[in-house]
Structure 1
Amino acid sequence: MIEIPLRRSGYGTVRLAESRLWETYGSIGLLSTGRGLAPWPYARWDRAARRSLTRADVTVPGWLVHLHRARGGVLPSFLLVVPCPTRGDLAADLAALAAVPAARVREELEQWFPQGIPAEVRPLYADPRTRLAELCDVLPRYRRAALAPYEASLRVATEEDILLRARILATRGPERLLGSLRGLRLSRHGDVLRLHGAGTPGRTAVADVSRLVLVPLVFGAGAPYAATGPDGTTAVAYRAEGAAALLGEARPSGKRDTGGEPGPGDRLEILLGRSRAGVVRGLVAPTTTSDLAAALGLAPSTVSEHLAALVAAGVVRRRREGVRVLYELDGPGVALLRHMDDRRRVNAPDT
């Protein structure tokens, strides 16, 4: 649990920032703790990622798997480089991770395991610099194998969530924003804000928060990550909306779907055609025409044509958010996915 004093600094400056490093950790945590039984909507990604990692001969260090399992998905803060709102650069974060002092690694591990360092984690404790260097080599290869095919969907979901939270922050204030975050349990005791389930074991008091950075993660289920930088910046992860975007078929970057023959046994594609079925599946989270086209590998004009037909049929609805036009499934569209796509846990649209 992390405690943030409100009287002295308020919330500081609240920012939202993506982190490819934290997202990568979140996906590894799902593979580590799910053990082949990932919950909806991650099951399809889980199966595909495991096959891809095997083909690419990528193995996540056993000590990282054990750390994910040891405390319900929480990770020590030395692994969590505080995201910079102006830099979502994985290479820069890995450079900072490789430079973490060995003394800090050992100190945090001793706090985590006061009864003794487990055998699985001893290689990290014995030689932190070498093990972190190996991790920095593995993570980019892991990401290429497990996440690159879903890169466009992850980007769209994260950007849409950041825009949603930014509107809440601007119109309703920081307390309403914090109360809207999924996967983050908050309570307030007088002038202290408590973030439950985040940070190192026990209670961590942050003396002076200069900036609170909120990090949306598509793989944020069970990933209560939190870290504080030397300048007082505190970063906390939460589960982004739109994780159902992972239900879509992954395609290699740059490959376009030409709308060919329906897949065998795919009832939705048989009914609508391959590309239009892809549009319906891509609308489980609100998105724009251009972002949907990028995620599906279709021409924007083709997506616009499909959206116009789906709106006219009452399957999809459109709404304006400032200068942007968002499309999402309406009630009949949700029912269509549930009954024709075997996805009975697709959420009904918000009213």
Structure 2
Amino acid sequence: MPTPYTGWVRGARRAVPPKLMDTVVQLAHRRDTPFLRHAHAYVPDPARSSLQDELDFLRERFESAGDERTAALIEDYWNHALHPYWPALRASLEEEVLFRGRTLAVNGPEAMLAELEGRVLWQRPRLTAPYHLDLTREVRRSRLVLVPSMFSAATRVFTSDAQVTAMSYQARTTGFLHSVTPDRPTEPPTDRLALLIGPGRAKVIRALQAPRTTTALAHSLGLAKSTVSQHLGVLTETGVVWRRRLGGQVFYQLDRSGFALLEQLGD
């Protein structure tokens, strides 16, 4: 079964010029480029709200380390490999942040951290996260910032100052990459799920393995919002999908019966 990244990787390989790809790969494998390990592993700052803000920040860090071309390489790579998908990816990540924030506000930090599929464990005053080596770090009076990522399955803990500790984790919406990459395979003629409930409704079910709004679904599936809304109404009424209002938006996701249906017939 293809990973969520398969279609994106194929598209990126076609879009990124070979010379640029070779340069990025060579740079990543050089042992004398410590900034690849440290300079870009910084704690996100809400004040940097745009890509240009982030690039300017990176450029300052790289130039202070004696390197003037890496920020330009990152920007060039971004434009070819990620820019075409960014509006959809950003919308998906914003939904992730809203979903986690709502859980935090309603049920508290313990419940929110517990939803990260066992990746972290919060037992006051200790926070335990999986890591590739044993590491104990004492942090006092520090904020914990959670950073959802579409491109990393592992948990990463990093800090740039004594006031903030950040932890990245794989967002629930990573499967969304299947629907934003242009070369995803078409559904086979013998799609059992589509034969049972129709191709449109089958697409909606497959896209609801993570919480999504009606607008996000319509955009990613290329369907009219009214059509998606109709499918969601039927799926919710039959108990296949749950519906939850978070803030000013309504999210939908597969319920247990929906996941069971997808497992049995989703191929």
User: Into which bin does the TM-score normalised by the smaller protein fall?
Assistant: 0.7 to 0.9
Match for residue 78 of structure 1?
A: 39
Match for residue 174 of structure 2?
A: 243
Describe the shift of the 1:316–1:134 C-alpha distance in structure 2 as closer, same or farther (beyond 3 A).
Answer: closer
Superposed CA RMSD in Å reads: 3.8
Check the 8 A contact 1:81/1:96 in 2, yes or no: no
Match for residue 20 of structure 1?
A: none
Alpha-carbon distance in 1 for matches of 2:69, 2:80: 18
Match for residue 330 of structure 1?
A: 255
Instruction: Tell which has more relative contact order, 1 or 2 (C-alpha 8 A, sep 6+).
Output: 1
Secondary structure of the 2:45 match is coil
Check the 8 A contact 1:314/1:332 in 2, yes or no: yes
Match for residue 116 of structure 1?
A: none
Please give the TM-score of this superposition, normalised by the length of structure 2.
0.74
Equivalent AA in structure 2 for residue 330 of structure 1: D
2:68 to 125, 129, 135: 129
Equivalent AA in structure 2 for residue 62 of structure 1: V
Note if 1:96 corresponds to 2:40: no
Describe the shift of the 1:64–1:238 C-alpha distance in structure 2 as closer, same or farther (beyond 3 A).
Answer: farther
Describe the shift of the 1:176–1:307 C-alpha distance in structure 2 as closer, same or farther (beyond 3 A).
Answer: closer
Describe the shift of the 1:331–1:63 C-alpha distance in structure 2 as closer, same or farther (beyond 3 A).
Answer: same
Match for residue 311 of structure 1?
A: 236
Alpha-carbon distance in 2 for matches of 1:242, 1:48: 15
Deviations 1:40-60 (A, max 9, x none): 7xx344332332223223416
- Post-superposition offset of 1:179: 5.0
2:11 to 52, 67, 75: 52
- Post-superposition offset of 1:334: 1.9
2:94 to 119, 140, 159: 159
Match for residue 25 of structure 2?
A: 62
Describe the shift of the 1:185–1:276 C-alpha distance in structure 2 as closer, same or farther (beyond 3 A).
Answer: closer
Alpha-carbon distance in 2 for matches of 1:249, 1:268: 21
Question: Structure 1: which 5+ runs fail to align?
Answer: 1-39, 68-74, 106-126, 253-260, 343-351
Alpha-carbon distance in 1 for matches of 2:130, 2:260: 36
Equivalent AA in structure 1 for residue 14 of structure 2: R
Could you tell which deviates more after superposition, 284-293 or 308-317? Answer: 308-317
Equivalent AA in structure 1 for residue 264 of structure 2: H
Match for residue 297 of structure 1?
A: 222
2:160 to 228, 234, 251: 228
- Post-superposition offset of 1:240: 2.0
2:131 to 183, 186, 197: 197
Check the 8 A contact 1:197/1:224 in 2, yes or no: yes
Deviations 1:125-165 (A, max 9, x none): xx632334323322332213xxx34752x345423332232
- Post-superposition offset of 1:235: 2.8
Check the 8 A contact 1:183/1:238 in 2, yes or no: no
Alpha-carbon distance in 1 for matches of 2:138, 2:27: 26
Alpha-carbon distance in 2 for matches of 1:133, 1:320: 42
- Post-superposition offset of 1:304: 1.3
Match for residue 217 of structure 1?
A: 149
- Post-superposition offset of 1:100: 0.8
Identity %: 36
Equivalent AA in structure 2 for residue 197 of structure 1: Y
Question: Structure 2: which 5+ runs fail to align?
Answer: 31-35
